[in-house]
Structure 1
Amino acid sequence: MADEWSSSLDVHLDWTPGLGRKGLAKAVRQAIRDGRWRPGSVVPSTRALAHDLGVARGTVTRVYSDLAAEGYLQTSQGAPTRVATAGAQPLTQPRPIASREPAMRWNLMAGRPDAALFPRDIWLASTKRVLQHTHNETFGYGEPRGSSVLRATLSAYLGRSRGVLADPARIVICSGFAHAMTILGNALQSVGIQEMAFEDPSFNRFRDLAGATGQKIVGVPVDGNGMRISELTSPAVVVTPAHQSPIGVTMSPDRRATLTQTGAVIVEDDYDGEFRYDRQQVGALQALAPERVIYAGTASKTLAPSLRLGWLVLPRSLVDPVIAALATSGAQPSLLDQLTLADMISTGAYDRHVRRCRIEYRSRRDRLAAALPQHLIPQGISAGLHLMVPLSEAAEAQVPTVARRHSLAVATVSPMSMGEKRHGLVVGYGASSKNAFGGALDALLNVLRELQD
């Protein structure tokens, strides 16, 4: 006969049948004293615990009665038995991790979207549709290169919205761009490429991740037309041609063409290509040389960084090395989240959400640009979630102290530089909520006034 199934709680007790009723009482008592059975929590019913331990129900009933009399358990007619607070010893609180910096009230850090804009209702509706119609295999380990449904959906979406030539067989799903940097650093190592160039300046976190794979990291200067391609000598290069990060310029058409003719493997980080405000978005570089360019995109700016959803469109020659590096990385986004994103895109909900965000972020950028003092002219195009405000070296050096005084989190440019130092603020107008943006902008203007003085 099949074993009777218990619908109660699973618990661990340091007890064996040979210890008898007194030993069982001691084990329960110790679990409460240790804090493993938390004050106020429901304990297994006498019937369920007796079944799980293979003892008579009366044995467990007597143990519970004794412990209730001692103040360890709390019983009530018609209600489940709970752990009382009297017998439990307070748990030692974990030692708080010392924060490097105090939390700031106002947030203008670059590279962060407004978390309040995450479309909870749309995400929930798509998740429900996926759960209603998906196969049971969805809850397995999934495909090595990511969901075929999402890859096919991205193929159509990227071709339509960014001009990317994206065969689903050449798309790999990863856990965001940081994960992509680790994967690509290792994959390029496997095909003999051991040096990667980055724009100078650029966000140092991605340089560090590539360097951690053993890649030699070099910088190539950026001017008003993007990376100076004439100074590129590395066999692989990471660029942000649509909206250089952090300067904000667009790579000129002639440099885009020249870059694709260098013979280097190009990683195109299209980190905020959906957000162009002054005119139509610049198309992806990848379309000029799909066998030389690795196109990288994510949902971090359009939806939320915590989703850890990204994708790579690869040259044919790098598909297998990247899949192998992805497998050894041990990370892969949730297949359920992949299918939810695919549903959002295929139903048009994703496009509508991006358009709503575009309107909100454009309004913030216009408001920020109009509020800046006249002598501070932001660099770059009207796009993305940040702008750069040039400062003198002396003024930038004061920023950490002055910004802290006004409880403002904002980044400076010089830590992102590799060779010749640039100086300024990188103001992220996406990080604050809509209601908090006004206060953050006021804090920024107060900081700039002090720097001016």
Structure 2
Amino acid sequence: MATGSDFLLLDAADAPARGLADWLAARLRTALADGRLAPGERLPATRLLAAELGVSRGVVTEAYRRLAEEGHVTGRGRAGTVVVAVPARPGGAGSGGVGPGGVGPGGVRSGGAVVFPEVPGADVFDVLREAPARIDLSPGVPDLSAFPRAAWLRAERAVLAGLGAGDLGYGDPRGVPALRVAITRWLARTRGIVAEPGDVVVVTGVAQALALLAEVLRGDGFREIAVEDPGSLGVRQHLDHHGLATPPVPVDDLGLRVSELRADAVLVTPAHQFPTGVVLDAARRRELARWGGLVVEDDYDAEHRYDRPPVSAVRAALPDRVCYLGSVSKVLAPALRTGWMLVPERYREAAVAAKRFADLGSAALPQLVLAELMDSGELERHLRLLRRRHVRRRDAMTRAIAEHLPGARVHGVAAGLYLTVTFDGDVPDTALAAAALELGVKAQPLSWHAQRPTRPGLVLGYAANPATALAEGVAAIGKALRELG
């Protein structure tokens, strides 16, 4: 006869006669929230825990399944069921004390820092990442659980088998030749760009590309680069940090208002404008070509396209005027820190020199593995899998928005990894994001990404969460909005 389990001191005698799975799932959630179960810990095997508790194995399996759907645990084959995320912990009590995620005088706080200030500081994304949440709807992250581990390992073995001793030394700061060739082929197939391997500089993501480009442009006399408004706060922060002012240019339903450009350079996201999701209109593209200044094209997630025809990169039509930036962060994983930059010929030597003195070149082995994935077709197969999964999750989020946020306007559904929703009324979106975080849901306020006044809204990533978590997260946002209203 079972007497209970040493694991969390569980005793099925404490459970109601019916609802054993509900009881067990609730006990596990409590242990996750209060820190008794931490990320990386392995749960007992279902058969073992069921025997210890004197319940059917189906009870334990169902409880684990619910936690997996909520994003707290994941099954890892022979490694068992492992904790991957914990719910937000409640705020502390006392005279003004605030715990992680709690509300204090300055809004929601995490580790002593305000998570949703009206004016975001340089560390705002670091603070937001560290804030605990049960459901993370931050934009710009693909389904990292779908990372093609088996294909990566096969490619890595193939690369290592053919690697000579000389390949392990210092190399070309532009990147290994094999990857630069593979990138030109990839861009020709998917973005309509015709380029030579010598045009490509491999970088550690778009962030480094912006840093190198800022150095090059400052050396050529540039003091500012216009940006879309609304547009990526992160991009703006990088350019500001590296000495370039970022005057705003409005965006409407046709994309950037080129007629309002007053700078000599502009950064655009023409294939899928962040955060509105609009595509730069053909007439606006022609207007941009006639404008005559330098264009920086951030092609950050053009591969993720669902309900509309493809559009070519601006670089394809204006190679002498466009600095083109791309990466695999949205296709594979941000942790790979691998991207590329194509610059007009007049800036190429300076860009290579900036890369050389930054780090002597990116790590060679990941470059060679990525080249193998591109050349073998594995990357395209992975992208097709992601598109199918992302469409299902996007549809789940739009259904949840229709149900729980009936007055919201939805933007950018045809492509990308996120949706933007805007609201009528005067509720500050920073307050809404803070209230949602109190309910365990993390999202970014639209106002963070705007330099001029804009309608309140949220930018909601859907790619990294299962449908059940998306529905629950949007429901929590709806509840927060009603409470604030």
TM-score, normalised relative to structure 2:
0.70
Equivalent residue, structure 1, for 2:464: 431
Query: Is 1:385 paired with 2:412?
Result: no
Where does residue 78 of structure 2 map in the other structure?
none
Specify the alignment match of 1:129 in structure 2. 158
Indicate yes or no: 2:346 matched with 1:302: no
1:270 counterpart = 2:302: no
- Confirm or deny: 8 A CA contact 1:249 1:381 kept in the other structure: no
| Aligned-residue identity in percent | 35
* Contiguous gaps of at least 5 residues in structure 2: 1-99, 101-109, 116-130
**Equivalent residue, structure 2, for 1:401:** 434
CA distance in 1, matches of 2:235, 2:366: 24
C-alpha spacing 1:160/1:356, structure 2 compared with 1 (3 Å): same
Q: 2:169 aligns with which of 140, 152, 162?
A: 140
Find the aligned partners of 1:163 and 1:424 in 2 and give their Cα distance: 34
Moved more, 222-231 or 132-141: 132-141
Structure 1's 223 and 107: CA in aligned 2 closer, same or farther, altered over 3 A? same
Residue 323 of structure 1 and its aligned partner are, at CA, apart by 0.9
Alignment root-mean-square deviation, CA: 1.8
Cα distance in structure 2, aligned partners of 1:168 and 1:217 = 31
Q: How far off is 1:438 after superposition? A: 1.3
Question: Residues 400 and 474 of structure 2 are in contact (CA less than 8 Å); yes or no, is this contact kept in structure 1?
Answer: no
> For residue 31 of structure 1, what is the aligned residue in structure 2?
none
Corresponding residue to 1:319 among 328, 334, 348:
348
Relative to structure 1, the CA distance from residue 274 to residue 404 in structure 2 (aligned partners, 3 Å threshold; closer, same or farther) is same
Q: Quote the offset at 1:381 in angstroms.
A: 4.4
Equivalent pairs counted in the alignment come to: 355
TM-score of the aligned structures, taking structure 1 as reference length: 0.75
Q: Is the 8 A contact 2:305 2:415 kept in 1?
A: yes
Larger radius of gyration: 1
Rounded to whole Å, the distance in 2 between the matches of 1:326 and 1:363 is 40
Deviation of 1:168 after TM superposition, in Å, equals 1.0
Instruction: Classify the secondary structure of the residue corresponding to 1:378.
Output: strand
Q: Superposed, which structure 2 residues align to 1:112-191 within 5 Å?
A: 112-191=141-220
Name segments (4+ residues, structure 1) moved above 4 Å. Answer: none
Q: Which residue of 2 aligns with 1:419?
A: 452
> How far off its partner does 1:450 sit?
3.6
Query: Residue 376 of structure 1 corresponds to which residue in structure 2?
Result: 408
Q: Does 1:239 align with 2:296?
A: no
Query: AA paired with 1:380?
Result: G
Q: Distance in 1 between matches of 2:360 and 2:431?
A: 40
Partner of 2:138: 109
Measured after TM superposition, the shift of residue 98 of structure 1 is 3.6
What residue identity is the alignment partner of 1:281?
P
Residues 52-131 of structure 1 correspond to what in structure 2 (within 5 A)?
98=111, 100=113, 102-131=131-160
Alignment equivalent of 1:221, drawn from 247, 250, 257: 250
Q: Which moved further from structure 2: 151-160 or 421-430?
A: 421-430
2:56 match: none
Contact 2:432 2:480 in 1 (8 A): no
Q: Which of 434, 445, 450 matches 2:475?
A: 445
> 1:172 deviation in Å?
0.6
> In the TM superposition, what is the alpha-carbon distance from 1:99 to its structure 2 partner?
6.3
Residue 260 of structure 1, CA deviation = 2.0
Summarize deviations over 1:216-268 as a string: whole Å, max 9, x none. Answer: 22111111111110011111111000100011111100101111221211111
Contact 2:171-2:361 at 8 Å conserved across structures: no
CA separation in 1, counterparts of 2:263 and 2:428? 34
> Post-superposition shift, 1:395?
5.4
Residues 327 and 339, structure 2, Cα contact 8 Å, conserved in 1? yes
Residue 360 (structure 1) aligns with: 389
Residue type of the alignment partner of 2:204 = S
Residue 225 and residue 305 in structure 1: after superposition, are their counterparts in 2 closer, same or farther (change >3 A)? same
Alpha-carbon shift at residue 426 of structure 1 (Å): 0.4
1:183 is displaced (CA, Å) by: 0.7
Q: CA deviation at 1:334?
A: 1.4
Match of 1:201 among 223, 226, 230: 230
Against the structure 1 CA distance between its residues 162 and 171, is the aligned structure 2 distance closer, same or farther, given a 3 Å change threshold? same
The one-letter code matched in structure 2 to 1:333 is S
State the secondary structure of the residue aligned to 2:393.
helix
Q: Retained in 2: the 8 A contact 1:175–1:331?
A: no
Q: Which deviates further from its counterpart, 237-246 or 416-425?
A: 416-425
Tell me, yes or no, if the aligned pair for 1:277 and 1:383 is still in contact at 8 Å.
yes
1:200 positional shift: 0.7
Tell me the equivalent position of 2:46.
none
- Please give the alpha-carbon distance, in whole angstroms, between the structure 2 residues aligned to 1:104 and 1:309: 28
Structure 2 Cα separation of the partners of residues 298 and 282 of structure 1 = 18
Amino acid at match of 1:447: I
Which range moves more in the overlay, 338-347 or 371-380?
371-380
Q: Which residue of 1 aligns with 2:127?
A: none
> Residue 410 in 1 paired to residue 443 in 2?
yes
SS, match of residue 238 in structure 1:
strand
| Range that drifts further, 222-231 or 442-451 | 442-451
Aligned residue identity for 2:478: L
Q: 1:405 Cα deviation (Å)?
A: 2.2
Distance change (3 Å), C-alpha of 1:167 and 1:200: same
Task: Using the TM superposition, give the Cα deviation of residue 441 of structure 1 relative to its aligned residue in structure 2, in angstroms.
Answer: 2.6
